[in-house]
Amino acid sequence: MTLFLLQSPSMPPAPAKLRKAYVNNSHPLICLRFEDGHEIKVYRNTVKTFDAYAGEVIKVLAVYDPTSKERELVESVRAEDLPGAEPHEAR
């Protein structure tokens, strides 16, 4: 009996999962938009920690009026360029 592997040789390996943090000290509200479409809100003078995949591009959007759908692109950043979450998490 022959066993087949579930992963084909042409499939790349899964990207590494990274634990990252974002510090917002400059805007009333920052929205981090991930490639899969989910968003994380980071209010002024707060830190949020989250998981992201290596190579993932995260859009950093400023929200000045929460009742409006209008958002300003602050920057696009790769997950590996963000600081690690360890200093911000209580263990």
Distances (CA, A) of 52 to 13, 22, 42, 45: 16, 12, 16, 22
Q: Is residue 41 a part of any domain in this protein? A: yes
Q: Give domain status of residue 7, yes or no.
A: no
Number of domains in the chain: 1
46 occurs within a structural domain: yes
Query: Could you read off the pLDDT of 2-58 as tens digits, one per residue?
Result: 555 555 567 788 888 999 999 999 999 999 999 999 999 999 999 999 999 999 999
User: Does residue 82 surpass a pLDDT of 80?
Assistant: yes
Rounded to two decimals, what is the model's pTM?
Answer: 0.80
| 67 pLDDT higher than 80 | yes
SS3 category, 80: helix
Classify residue 70: in a domain, yes or no: yes
Count of CA atoms in the C-beta half-sphere (13 A) of 43: 1
